[in-house]
Structure 1
């Protein structure tokens, strides 16, 4: 009987040790997972030689398989931005690789800010979740 109680006690100890180690991670940074994926709503715009759209709309953000690139699907007929590469900046913030004063995308816990200029086309967004 003592042997059975001892074995049962060791199994319970092992179970609690394993579950407490793997249950959570205090250093899990949202920038490393899909935390930034989702819908952001606010002011969006797009300008090119044929279109000039400025409206209250939404941007749907998805993380793609590479782990460092994101796609941005705009509402209201605005063309999407796909495969934009990001790097982590500080805690819980992603910034587009190659950001400049005239072209940047920044995502943090609640906000999405875009000023992206490419090939004579301009996308902007000032959105929150």
Structure 2
């Protein structure tokens, strides 16, 4: 009897572990969630008058903050973060930075992150997927 309970307990543990991992989806859409956090991987870079950082194996951790329209971008490789960037929804599943221009934009959806952000002589770029 103890062996049957042990096997049943192990089965339940495996079932709940698999269910929990399956519920963490990379298909979460940053436009449809009140809370969003996701990691995008790919090429990232940063430059200013003192630094020039670049990596093809970088990452950007994106979080939606409490306002519901602002996002934070935490870069790998010692690149300074971008915080409090405001977005508008464009189409069903795409967010575009408020004030985007041809030389400064951030575009994010559930699969892709594109950044070319220039401010105060500093330049951030990212071309990442998840």
What is the Cα-based RMSD across aligned positions, in Å? 1.5
Residue matched to 2:33: 33
Rounded Cα–Cα distance in structure 2 between residues aligned with 1:34 and 1:78: 27
| 2:115 is equivalent to residue 118 of structure 1 | no
Who wins on radius of gyration, i.e. which is larger? 1
Does the C-alpha gap of structure 1 residues 74 and 34 become closer, same or farther in structure 2, counting only changes over 3 Å?
farther
Residue matched to 2:44: 44
TM-score by length of 1: 0.74
* Structure 1 outlier segments of 4+, above 3 Å: none
TM-score by length of 2: 0.74
C-alpha contact 1:36 1:108 (8 A) present in aligned 2: no
Q: Mind listing any 5+ residue stretches in structure 1 that lack a counterpart?
A: 1-28
| SS of structure 2 residue aligned to 1:31 | coil
C-alpha contact 1:94 1:107 (8 A) present in aligned 2: yes
